[in-house]
Chain A
Amino acid sequence: MKIIETQGLGHRFPDGTLALNGVNLVVEKGEFTILAGRNGSGKTVLMKHLKGLLTPSSGRVLIHGADLRHLPPEYRTTVGLVFQNPDSQFVGQTVMEDLRFGPENLRLPEEEIQRRVQRALDITSLRDKADRRPHTLSGGEKRRLAVAGVLALDPEVLVLDEPFSGLDLEGTKDVLRGILALHDLGHTILLITHEVEKVLAHAGRLVIMEHGRVVADDHPSALLQTAPRFGIHIPKKADLSDMTWIE
């Protein structure tokens, strides 16, 4: 079942730079997709369009077949967006307060806010950190909190922008385990990264972008030879099953 569909999506910045150039992409329910490409290839701009944070210069984004532009902001919960820099995402002064932010925006009753917050804390194993200040958490915990904040909106699709950047081995494993657990729970995952060797073994699909276009879209095993041409590092002689940081 199609959840997200972009049709000829284009985005041009005010200075004339063409960030997206006719992107056609379909995300199906339950997929684990990796979106990769060089810096400036348009990944993050595409991600923002999927959440309706930018207005397309051309084309459109459909969520369950409905044009995203015609949906009011509070109904745009199908896609949950986790930004690259977790520190800039925290609006609450404690973990608990931060998690309440999304559900409060949806004008949910207090009982439902509490239920969602507790669920997000449980899924991301942050229950014992509920009263901590977000900025005092470790790198991995901050990423998990950023994911939890989005999970409290109960999205179907989780879009994660460079979730491993700046994390050490343990932090990366921690975040990766969390992402896999969310996929097991039925969430559709769209993961933007250029560190594909950390996660590719778990993905069912690899989409590569270059100059604002989708230039390759297939099962990861079919793109192992092609990917390096687009600036994506694939370890030499590595098997697809080795491309994970979880033993």
Chain B
Amino acid sequence: MDRVIFRYFPGDSLIHRFDPRIKLPGCALFCYAALQPGPRNLAITAGALLAAFLFARIPLKTLLIDFLRFVPLLTALFLAVFFSSDDGGPLVPAALAAGRFALLILAGNLLIQTTALSRISAAVRWFLTPLPRRLAGRLGTMIGLSVGLIPLFFQELEESRDALKARGLRARKQPLRWAVKLLTPLLARVFLRTEEMAEAMEGRCYSDERSSLPLKAQGIDWLFGLAVILLVLAICQT
């Protein structure tokens, strides 16, 4: 099945249609809520995020499989907190830290999965309206493209990894050699792809001052924003 994590997943759900000018700060506020201490807060934010994924009709099984690639990172975080914690039993804080980090990854992923790049760029440009138009346009495109390049990076990573595997070099057997051999072609390929993309953009008359996708906030968008604010307030007051 096609990978879904950190990739736009076209759809027409409510989550997809929310105005990105409310969705972006909403996501930031949600992340703030997810970082608040305590297992109860973690459970509430995890529940809210799961509901959002279900609303957005993201295939959870595929997402879960894709998410497994973050397990080494989460394990490293867990172990780091586990061995550095000195208050009470270190198991709970370590698990909470890993859980919070997982939530941050998933919240960012949900934003990317349900918001087209052009809408993110348009929202960023809107937030940067006080800046000169050309600078705002450039920053909007840069942020949008950075988000868009994440799946490109993963794709190149997978191809480079498979190429190494096909030639008998596996991470488990020779991790250091594997990492060195992976990094060089990976970076070369990513730079080549980005250069080709830049050339193609120029070929399509790229300009910093572009027409922006029209955005329109409706009642439901404000309700969404209000719901996130209430969630954050509820969590912060406990």
Contacts and interface: CB of A to CB of B under 8 A. Distances in A.
What range describes how many residues of A lie at the interface? 35 or more
Interface in A126-147: 131-133, 136
A113 B210 CA distance: 12
Given A97-B117, A131-B10, A89 B207 contact: no
Task: Give the interface residue-count category, chain B.
Answer: 20 to 34
B200 A110 contact: no
Contact of A73 (B2, B116, B200, B206): B206
Contact of A97 (B116, B204, B212): B116
Interface in B94-153: 116-118, 145, 148
B197 A89 contact: yes
Q: Which of B117, B211, B214 has the most CB of A within 10 A?
A: B211
B199 interface: yes
B137 to A, nearest CB: 10
A81 interface: yes
Contact of A105 (B117, B197, B207, B214): B207
A102 B2 contact: no
A181 interface: no
B196 interface: yes
Interface string B208-224: 01111110000000000
A76 B200 CA distance: 14
Interface of B: 2, 7-8, 10, 116-118, 145, 148, 193, 196-197, 199-207, 209-214
B10 A106 contact: no
B203 A105 contact: no
Contacts of A100: 118, 213
Contacts, number: 90
A108 interface: yes
Given A101-B204, A109-B211, A150-B203, 7 more contacts: A73-B206, A74-B207, A92-B117, A93-B148, A97-B116, A107-B207, A133-B8
B214 A110 contact: yes
25 contacts: A51-B203, A53-B203, A73-B206, A74-B207, A81-B203, A83-B203, A88-B193, A88-B197, A89-B196, A89-B200, A91-B200, A92-B118, A93-B148, A101-B204, A102-B204, A102-B205, A104-B118, A104-B210, A104-B213, A105-B204, A105-B207, A109-B211, A132-B10, A133-B8, A153-B204
B193 to A, nearest CB: 6
A244 interface: no
The main secondary structure of chain B at its interface with chain A is loop
Contacts of B211: 103-104, 106-110, 113
A118 interface: no
A8 B146 CA distance: 40
B7 A133 contact: yes
Nearest to B117: A93
Contacts of A77: 205
A246 B225 CA distance: 56
A104 to B, nearest CB: 4
Nearest to A132: B10
Contact of B206 (A48, A105, A133): A105
A102 B2 CA distance: 28
